[in-house]
Amino acid sequence: MRLHSTLKVFLLAIGDPVQAFSGRISPWARLIDYLSHKHNILFVISSGNHNGPLHYDVGTQQLLDMPPDDRDRLTMANLLSNAIVRGVLAPADSINAITVGAVNQDASELESGPSGTVLPVSARHLPAPYSAFGPGYRRAVKPDFVTHGGRLPYRPSLHSHEETRLVQPGNLSRFPGIVTAIPHQTYRYRFDAGTTLAAALTTRRLAQALEYLRDSEFAGRIPDEFLPVLIKALVAHSARWDHQARQVIEASVGSDTDWRKRKSAVTRTLGYGYVPPEGTFDCAQHRVTCIGFGTIEVEQGHQFNLPLPPILADVRQQSWRRLTVTLAYLCPIKPTVQAYRPVVCWANRVVPDNVRLNVKAVNVEEKPAQNGTLQHLVFEGGDAPVFTDGDSLQLVVSSRPSAHDGKRVDGPVPTRYGLVVSLEVAENINIYEEIRDRIRPRVRIEDRGASR
């Protein structure tokens, strides 16, 4: 296999409206997965737009007079109850590509649409009502994350005391939304909304990540062949579940519902969370970000050691902290057998007996996060950690053959991966210099037996 020195990122802002994912990988996605691994290409794909009407079992006037918060919950409940027909559109079911959904956000200061329209979702932190959502292949997290897609006003088309139908307007001047250029003799731009715009903003963010990795500090230290997986991990690393959005989505499925179902509803609509279209990748005094990369074969493990700063164990500095681990890789495929993804890679925290960081997962659980080629875990805690100066947090990247059809991989299957890890504490605590001084002589990679 020949690796080209020039990084390739392809944007596919298109979706097949008659091929919503229902458990079987589409032919288009299979081609993308094959090309991604063979040529080391990173694809960015919009999750797709569902442009059909929204139906409500309440009267039109009642819906229009409803407080925005209540209408938000009602809309999210309707979307989730029809999840079977609102899946990601081909080729967004690709396992190697970054699939981007839309959040109901734009830069417009307008809080409503044109006269005669209504915003089905008013809160800007919630998923956009047109955005397709997951899960993906074998319940993988899809979309991978969401970003700005623009707010879209709808127009009532059925007026009744018992039900309401909202449809999307079809003119060129709809607003609010994101300003986009158009090829038109009279109008040079329009307000628009859609997952196409979210995918375009993500592609720009990937370009910024590439520039960051190619600056003077990293120049010559990262081979070009690892840049696709590293920028994939670096951009996804900032993904977070918005607290208010999570509350609304969980409330829409019922507070008495099992917590796993509530968390699943958040995962299928927000993916790993919201990624801002702007921002810096640099560290701060209270936040340290480390990157790693390598090529791993099945039944191998690569260990990374992150030195823990002594100031974190100071009882006078007990405070909130967040550990974020993001692993990205491009997987080979077997398109003609049940084990479509023959290799599974994942990152595990290996905590020595004398070390307790006292953090727990606050977004997607560890097992579901292993179902795709992007694993993003966020741990938070406030209880005092237990460790001594010189202790490290150990992270092991492991690889195993897929066991879905009981077959093992024939021969070695090397897989390139990128790993991004950050430790963040309260802004009044300086951990950057302590970790920087300890990590330079201690970072190493070693083979270990892969463990689940």
Instruction: Give the model confidence (pLDDT) of 406-427 as tens digits.
Output: 455 555 578 999 999 999 988 8
Cβ atoms 61, 107 nearer than 8 A: no
Q: Where is average pLDDT lowest: 118-122, 264-268, 288-292, 333-337?
A: 333-337
Of the residues 270, 300, 324, the one at which a domain ends: 270
Instruction: Judge if 237 and 294 occupy the same domain.
Output: no
Distances (CA, A) of 401 to 41, 94, 181, 342, 374: 23, 19, 47, 6, 17
320 pLDDT more than 90: no
Residue partners of 5: CB distance under 8 A and separation at least 6: 224
The number of domains in the chain is 2
Structural domain of 230: 9-270
Residue partners of 60: CB distance under 8 A and separation at least 6: 156, 158, 159, 160, 161, 164
In-domain check, residue 281: no
Q: Which residue has the higher pLDDT, 145 or 116?
A: 145
Instruction: Judge if 306 and 243 occupy the same domain.
Output: no
Instruction: Please tell me the predicted confidence (pLDDT) of residue 382.
Output: 82
Instruction: Judge if 202 and 70 occupy the same domain.
Output: yes
In-domain check, residue 163: yes
Instruction: Judge if 300 and 199 occupy the same domain.
Output: no
pLDDT in tens, 348-398: 987 776 777 888 889 998 888 999 999 999 999 887 777 877 788 889 999
User: What is the average pLDDT across 286-298?
Assistant: 93
Instruction: Judge if 197 and 317 occupy the same domain.
Output: no
Cβ atoms 149, 105 nearer than 8 A: yes
Instruction: Judge if 128 and 84 occupy the same domain.
Output: yes
In-domain check, residue 368: yes
pLDDT in tens, 227-245: 999 999 999 999 999 999 9
Distances (CA, A) of 418 to 12, 355, 359, 374, 423: 23, 26, 23, 10, 17
220 pLDDT more than 80: no
Domain CATH number, residue 412 = 2.60.120
Report helix, strand or coil for 341. coil
In-domain check, residue 82: yes
405 pLDDT more than 50: no
pLDDT in tens, 419-448: 999 999 888 888 888 888 877 644 444 555
Distances (CA, A) of 59 to 55, 122, 145, 164, 251: 11, 19, 34, 6, 22
* DSSP tag of 63: H
Of the residues 245, 270, 295, the one at which a domain ends: 270
Of the residues 270, 305, 335, the one at which a domain ends: 270
User: What is the average pLDDT across 181-197?
Assistant: 86
**Threshold 0.85, pTM exceeds:** yes
In-domain check, residue 282: no
Q: Are strands 164-167 and 54-56 parallel, antiparallel or unpaired?
A: antiparallel
120 pLDDT more than 60: yes
In-domain check, residue 276: no
> Over the chain, what is the mean pLDDT?
87
138 pLDDT more than 80: yes
Instruction: Judge if 266 and 336 occupy the same domain.
Output: no
Q: Are strands 321-329 and 415-425 parallel, antiparallel or unpaired?
A: antiparallel
Instruction: Judge if 294 and 400 occupy the same domain.
Output: yes
* DSSP tag of 298: T
In-domain check, residue 420: yes
Q: Where is average pLDDT lowest: 24-38, 259-273, 308-322?
A: 308-322
In-domain check, residue 451: no
Alpha-carbon distance of 40 to 211, in angstroms, equals 18
* Largest interatomic CA distance in the chain: 71
Instruction: Please tell me the predicted confidence (pLDDT) of residue 324.
Output: 96
Cβ atoms 232, 328 nearer than 8 A: yes
Instruction: Please tell me the predicted confidence (pLDDT) of residue 3.
Output: 43
Instruction: Judge if 297 and 382 occupy the same domain.
Output: yes
Instruction: Judge if 159 and 248 occupy the same domain.
Output: yes
**Portion of the chain with pLDDT greater than 70, in percent:** 90
Instruction: Please tell me the predicted confidence (pLDDT) of residue 353.
Output: 66
Instruction: Judge if 171 and 210 occupy the same domain.
Output: yes
Instruction: Judge if 149 and 262 occupy the same domain.
Output: yes
Domain CATH number, residue 219 = 3.40.50
